[in-house]
Amino acid sequence: MGIATFLKSVINVTDLDDGLRFWSEVSGLDPGYVDPAGRFAGLGQHQVEGAPSSVILLQLVSDVEPNGGTHLDFTAPDIEVAIDEIIAIGGECVRSLGSYPEDQPLLEWAVMSDPWGNHFCLVRDV
């Protein structure tokens, strides 16, 4: 057992509405919790100690430091298609589709960025 249990991933955004739209389209999670004070918004739900909690929590900040050290991994049946779809909704491709390891690939992956500079990976087992 670990010292702590995973609760959720938190992503900094400078616009909650755009963040909900973007991350909902990327993850397939429905918008859920919205902080009445307008500082937080959640996507998806899971149970934590009997209480519902967001899977991804968006936090409104005035500025986002690009690739601040936290990222999420997502999988897709076709990474190239997913890259194009993410670019179409405002994301960017930071590292083009590649394989790991290159000599005998176990997976293919690409690094993407949301509109605020947060990096995330698209990964697919091969």
Same domain (yes/no): 104, 91: yes
pLDDT digits (tens, 9 = 90+) for 63-102: 887 766 567 888 888 999 999 999 999 999 999 999 987 8
pLDDT digits (tens, 9 = 90+) for 9-58: 889 999 999 999 999 999 999 998 888 888 999 999 866 666 667 789 89
Residue 108 burial (CB count, 10 A): 17
Same domain (yes/no): 33, 72: no
The predicted structure's pLDDT at residue 52: 64
Overall domain count for the chain: 2
Domain around 23 = 1-63
CATH code (residue 80): 3.10.180.10
Q: Rounded CA gap, 114 and 91, in Å?
A: 5
CA dihedral (94, 98, 101, 103) in degrees, to 10, reads -140
